[in-house]
Amino acid sequence: MINSSKIDIERFLEEFKQKFKVYGVFFKNREKNEQALYDLEITPKQREEYLLNLEPEDYLSGPIADAFDPNSPDNYEFAITLKSKEVYIKINKGKPGKRVMCISFHISERRVNYPFKKEK
């Protein structure tokens, strides 16, 4: 289901990446996020690079209201393929003057659909 236009996603990613470069990123401390680094054999720094390289074609869904914090910015879901595995990513722009947030960065637990990715 597409919740946003490709232009909306381009704008979100541009704002996310600009804020990331100024304030940095906060990764939610979740066991499956940490396990993904090990399983994918990547460093935390590489994980940051993957976030900075997200493209509109990686978009899955969003904006989605945060279920745990009503004051948090809306979340957006993306996925990328690393080492032949689909990696699910949930991010938001963070609160004003604070770091951007990465809630999820782990091997996908379900099949994903890319609304803007062209079939090869």
Average pLDDT, 10 consecutive residues per value, the chain (120 residues): 81 97 94 94 96 97 89 95 95 96 95 79
Residue 116: inside a domain, yes or no?
no
Q: Return the pLDDT at 117.
A: 84
From residue 120, alpha-carbon distances to 85, 91, 114 in Å are 18, 27, 13
Residue 76: inside a domain, yes or no?
yes
Q: Return the pLDDT at 119.
A: 55
User: CATH number for the domain including 93?
Assistant: 3.30.2310.40
Q: Return the pLDDT at 113.
A: 87
Q: Domain range holding 57?
A: 6-107
Residue 114: inside a domain, yes or no?
no
Residue 120: inside a domain, yes or no?
no
Total number of domains in the chain: 1
Residue 1: inside a domain, yes or no?
no
Strand order through the sheet with 25-27: 25-27, 100-107, 85-92, 75-82, 59-64
Residue 92: inside a domain, yes or no?
yes
